[in-house]
Amino acid sequence: MVNRSVAVALGALTGLVGLIGMLRLIIAAFGVSPFALGFVLAAMIPWIAYVTYRGQHGRLRRARAGAVLGCCVVGLITVWIGTAGPVIALALSLVGFVVIWVSDWPARRPGGESRFVRIEELTRDDAESPS
């Protein structure tokens, strides 16, 4: 597993790639207007905080952290390429978030016989059961 500070930095970087992608899309469509910039910031600042939070609590392994870093680097490169670049950067930001999010899922419970009820216990009467 990677260090918590590295996971937090990867979460923040993933959110920042999404913010840059959204800003590039909005500026290309509407120009630099205060309303559009305010709308993007109001939507994306909580997104950055949420991805950073998930990165802090997740259990990122080295391979997954490398995948997230790769998505962020490719997203930062493609965000400056034409109109499709910001869309690709947003998609890569989402892929990076999904990797972080999956790493935050709880660990699987061990399977085995203790999870199942024996047939004998289901067919036995209450009078027969030991108390």
pLDDT tens for the 131 residues of the chain, in order: 888 899 999 999 999 999 999 999 998 888 888 988 999 999 999 999 999 999 998 888 999 999 999 999 999 999 999 889 999 999 999 999 999 999 888 777 766 656 666 777 778 776 665 65
Query: What's the domain count of the chain?
Result: 1
- Full domain range(s) for residue 42: 4-115
CB 72 within 8 A of CB 17: yes
pTM confidence score? 0.78
Is residue 96 domain-resident? yes
Is residue 84 domain-resident? yes
Torsion, Cα 46 9 72 58, to 10 degrees, reads: -80
Is residue 74 domain-resident? yes
Is residue 126 domain-resident? no
Is residue 123 domain-resident? no
